Structure 1
Amino acid sequence: MRFLHLIASVDPAGGGPIEGATQLHRALAKLGHDGEFVSLDAADAPCAAGFDAPLHALGPGRGRFGYSARLRPWLDAHAHRFDAVIVNGLWQYIGLAARQALAHSQTPYFVFPHGMLDPWFKHRHPLKHLKKWLYWPWAEYRVLRDARRVLFTCEEERLLARQAFWLYRCKEAIVSFGTAPPDDDPQASRQAFGSAFPQLRGKRVLLFLGRIHPKKGCDLLIEAFARTCAGAPDVHLVMAGPAQPQWQAQLEQQARRLGVSDRILWAGMLQGAVKWGALRTADAFCLPSHQENFGVAVVESLACGCPVLISDKVNIWREIEHAGAGYVAPDTAEGTSAALGRWLATPDERWRKMRQAARDCFDQNFRMEQVARALVGVVLESHPDHPDRAGRLDGRSAHV
C-alpha cells in the first residue's frame, strides 16, 4: 500500500506529531508499505532539507492556519497515487484541503487529532475556544465527519474528544500510538550526554524532556522539586526542550525565588545520542502535564528503561500505572510533590525492578510495529474492495 502523510511542519521542534508520523512511516516501510510526506514548510527550510523521507514541502503556509495555495492543486493531481492519506493534527489548512480534495474521491483520508480535541483547551482558553466555534461548523467538523476514520490513540482520548463541541459526528477508530526503541549503543549515548553536561556526573537526575510550555506543568515541577528535594542536594533537575523565551524566563525566576536555580539545568533541545543518553542516564522522567494526548517522550523513556512520574492528564497513565512503570498523580503542585516523594522513598532494588517494568510496558503497549499493523487493518477494514484486504488483516483484531 502507499500512504501519504499530511502534516503542518516536519520541524522536530514542533513536538510529538512529527516524531510519531516519522516513526510510523518507518514502521510501515518495514511491513512493505511505501509512503511520502506533504508539509507546509518552505522548500528551503532547514527542517525540510534535512528530512529523511520523501517530502513535498508546499509552503510556506500563511499565518497560524498555514494556508498554502499549492496544497489543494497538488492533492488533486497526486492523491490517486495513494491508498490512504493520513492527516496529522487539526486546526490547520492541511485538514480542510484534504477534505476539499478527497471527500468524494477514490482516495480515503484518515485523521489523527493528536489530542487537539481535548476539552482542557476549552476550559484553559475559553476565548480561543469561542473563536474555534466560529470556525468549527463549516470546516473542522466537516473534516472529521467526512474522514473515512478518525484515529484516536486510546479510549480516553476518544471519550474526551466528544466533550469538546456539541456538534460532533465522525467514524471513530482506536489505533494505539507508539514509537521505535533506539537502536544505538547505550553506553555511547550515556557518554555523549555525560560529555555534553559534565556538571551532572555523580548526580541523581530528574529529567523533563519536551516543549517547555505552560500546558506541560513545568511550573508545578519546579515548585515540587524545591519542596520535595530540598533534603536531597545530589538530585538535579534537567529541563530539556525548546522553550518560549518569555515562559522560560518566568520559570528561571521562579527557580531563583525558591532557591533551586543552581540545581536546575536548562539543556535546550536534545537530539540524537545526547537525547537517548539523557533518557538512559536519568533516574526518573517527569511530566506533570495538564493535557497530554500521548506523550512521545514518555514512551521513549519507557523504551530506555526509565520509569516515569506523570500526571493523570497524560492519557496513557492507566497503562503505565497498571504495568508498575512509574507513579501517577494529579496535575497539581501537591500531586507532583507526592510523585517525587514516592520516588525518593522507593528503595533502590524496587526502582531497578521498575526500570524493567518500564521496558516491559513499552514492549507490550507502544512498539510502533504494532501501531503500523493496526493502521493497515483500519485502512483495509474501511476499504473492503482493496485488493490487499484479504491477506493483510493479520494483527488487526488486537489493536483496532
Structure 2
Amino acid sequence: MRVLHVIPSIIKVRGGTSQVVIDMVKALRKNNVDAEIATTNDNGDSLLDVPLNRRVEYEQVPVWFFSRYSSNLKDIREYSFSWQLTVWLWKNISQYDLLHVHSIFCYASTIAMAIARQKNIPYIVIPHGLLCEWSLQQKTQRKQIYLKLIEQANIENSDAIHFTSQKEQQEFEKLGLNVPSFVLPLGTSLPKLIPHAHSHLCEYLKVPVNEPVILFMSRLHPKKGLDYLIPALAKLIHHRFTFVIAGSGSQKYEAEIKSLVISNGIRDRTYFAGFLEGEIKNLFMQGSDLFVLTSHSENFAVVVLEALAVGIPVVVTPGIALADIVEQHQLGYVTPLDVDAIASTLEKYLCNPQQAQDMGNSGRQLVSDQYTWKQITLKMQQVYADLAKN
C-alpha cells in the first residue's frame, strides 16, 4: 500500500507534530508500508536548503519538498502557500492508495484534502489538537470562518478522523460534525540510557550533583503555561533546585519569559537551554529529576511520553491528554493549572523525591509495553487495511 503523508512543515522548531510525522513514516516503512511525506521547504522565517520537486531522503525517510511562498507578512508566510505542491498533488495524488493529512487550517493540508475529494482518493485527517476547545478559542472568528467555508467540507468528507486521545475525540464531538473517527495514540522510542546522566548534566550546568533539576522542554508559547509555572517555582525558593527551560519560540515571547523569570526572582537558578535535539536533548531529559509541562491544552504531548520513556516522573496539568494515564498508573503528579496548586505539587515532590523516582521507573515500563512506534504502527497498518477494503 502506498500512503502519502501531507504536512505544511517538518522542521522541529514548529513543534512536536513535525517530528511525529517523520517518526511515524519511518516506523511504517519498517513495517513494509510504502509511506512518503509531501511538505514545503518552510523553515520558520527562512526556507530550508533542500532539493525541490523531487523525492529526497530526509532524516531517513522519503520526502517531497515544494517551495513555500515567503511573504513578509508572518501570518501569510506561516499559512505555507505552495503552488508547486498544488500542481504536484493534482498530477500525482492518484498514484497513492491513501492520504494521511496532518493538521488543518493551513494551505498544504487543506489543498491536499480538496484534491483528494476531487480525485476520489481516500484520506485520513489527524488534526493534532487543532479541533480542541482551547485551540478553537484562539483567533476564534478567523477559524470559524475558515471552518465553515472551507475546512468543514474537507473534514466531513474524510474517511476518518485520527485522534490521538479520547479527550481530543470528546472535544471534537461537541462540534456536531458527523465523521467516523478512531483513537490511536502517538508513539516514541526507548532511548539507550546514559550512565550517570544526572551527574553529567549537573557538571554541564555547573551545579552541585545533589541539586534537583526540574525540566520544562517544549515550544515556548503562551499555550504552555509558563506564566503559571514560573511564579509557582518562585514560591519554593526555600528549596534548592535548578530550573531548565528547553525550547524556542518567537523573539517577543522568549523575551517575555526571560523578564518573567527575572521579575519572579529565580533568574539565578534558571538555565535557558534553547532548542535541543539529539544527544544533548537526551542528556537533559535523562539527567533531570522531574519533568514539568503545565499546558492549557495538549491533544497528546509526545514530550511527556519521552520523559516517561527515560524513567523520570512528570508533573502535568489536566489539559494534557496524557494526564489521565499519568494519574491512573501513578507516573507522577496531575495538578490544576493554578499557581498555588502547581507550587504545592512541586513542594510535595521536593520533600519526597524518592517516591517520585519510583513513579518514573513505572513510566518507562508502561511506554515499553504500550507506546513504542512499532506497536502503534502495527495498529495503524490495520486501520489502513480496513479503509482499503471499503
TM-score, scaled relative to structure 2: 0.90
Q: Name 2:144's counterpart in structure 1.
A: 133
Residue 97 of structure 1, aligned match among 102, 111, 123: 111
Residue 154 of structure 2, aligned match among 131, 143, 166: 143
Q: Name 1:77's counterpart in structure 2.
A: 91
Q: Which amino acid is 1:274 matched to?
A: I
Residue 330 of structure 1, aligned match among 336, 351, 375: 336
* Residues 1:341 and 2:340 aligned together: no
**Is the contact made by 1:193 and 1:273 (CA closer than 8 Å) also made in structure 2?**
no
* Cα distance in 2 for residues equivalent to 1:153 and 1:258: 36
Secondary structure at 1:219 match in 2: helix
Secondary structure at 1:73 match in 2: helix
* Residues 1:41 and 2:62 aligned together: no
Q: Name 2:238's counterpart in structure 1.
A: 231
**Is the contact made by 1:203 and 1:236 (CA closer than 8 Å) also made in structure 2?**
yes
Cα shift readout 1:132-155 (whole Å, capped 9, x = no counterpart): 111212211111111111100111
**Is the contact made by 1:191 and 1:277 (CA closer than 8 Å) also made in structure 2?**
no
**Is the contact made by 1:320 and 1:326 (CA closer than 8 Å) also made in structure 2?**
yes
Displacement of 1:194 after TM fit?
5.4
Question: Which region of structure 1 is more displaced relative to structure 2, 169-178 or 110-119?
Answer: 169-178
Cα shift readout 1:255-311 (whole Å, capped 9, x = no counterpart): 222221100111101110110111111111000100111111111101111111000
Q: Which amino acid is 2:345 matched to?
A: A
**Is the contact made by 1:98 and 1:109 (CA closer than 8 Å) also made in structure 2?**
no
Q: Which amino acid is 2:356 matched to?
A: W
Secondary structure at 1:137 match in 2: helix
* Cα distance in 1 for residues equivalent to 2:180 and 2:202: 48
Q: Name 1:368's counterpart in structure 2.
A: 373
Question: Which region of structure 1 is more displaced relative to structure 2, 56-65 or 170-179?
Answer: 56-65
Q: Name 2:178's counterpart in structure 1.
A: 169
* Cα distance in 2 for residues equivalent to 1:289 and 1:304: 21
* Residues 1:358 and 2:363 aligned together: yes
Q: Name 1:216's counterpart in structure 2.
A: 224
**Is the contact made by 2:248 and 2:254 (CA closer than 8 Å) also made in structure 1?**
no
Displacement of 1:181 after TM fit?
2.0
Cα shift readout 1:108-140 (whole Å, capped 9, x = no counterpart): 1111100001111344x3xx1111111212211
Displacement of 1:199 after TM fit?
4.2
Cα shift readout 1:192-234 (whole Å, capped 9, x = no counterpart): 755653347542100000111110001111111111x21112x
Pair 1:54–1:200, CA change in 2 (3 A): farther
Q: Name 1:299's counterpart in structure 2.
A: 305
* Cα distance in 1 for residues equivalent to 2:201 and 2:85: 40
What is the count of residue pairs matched by the alignment? 376
Secondary structure at 2:119 match in 1: coil
Gaps (5+ residues) in structure 2? Answer: 52-57, 71-75
Secondary structure at 1:60 match in 2: coil
Matches within 5 A, 1:385-400: none
Pair 1:188–1:347, CA change in 2 (3 A): closer
Q: Name 1:179's counterpart in structure 2.
A: 188
Residue 55 of structure 1, aligned match among 51, 63, 66: 63
Secondary structure at 1:140 match in 2: helix
Q: Name 2:13's counterpart in structure 1.
A: 13
* Cα distance in 2 for residues equivalent to 1:274 and 1:157: 32
What is the identity percentage for the equivalent residue pairs of Structure 1 and Structure 2?
25
**Is the contact made by 1:95 and 1:140 (CA closer than 8 Å) also made in structure 2?**
no
* Cα distance in 2 for residues equivalent to 1:47 and 1:195: 36
* Residues 1:154 and 2:165 aligned together: yes
* Residues 1:66 and 2:80 aligned together: yes
Pair 1:171–1:190, CA change in 2 (3 A): same
Displacement of 1:85 after TM fit?
1.3
* Residues 1:261 and 2:272 aligned together: no
**Is the contact made by 1:325 and 1:361 (CA closer than 8 Å) also made in structure 2?**
no
Q: Name 2:286's counterpart in structure 1.
A: 280
Q: Which amino acid is 1:312 matched to?
A: P
* Cα distance in 2 for residues equivalent to 1:94 and 1:40: 8
Pair 1:56–1:307, CA change in 2 (3 A): same
Q: Which amino acid is 2:284 matched to?
A: A
Displacement of 1:361 after TM fit?
2.4
| RMSD, aligned CA | 2.2
Pair 1:27–1:137, CA change in 2 (3 A): same
* Residues 1:107 and 2:135 aligned together: no
Secondary structure at 2:389 match in 1: coil
Q: Name 2:385's counterpart in structure 1.
A: 380
TM-score, scaled relative to structure 1: 0.88
Gaps (5+ residues) in structure 1? Answer: 386-400
Secondary structure at 1:186 match in 2: coil
* Cα distance in 2 for residues equivalent to 1:189 and 1:147: 46
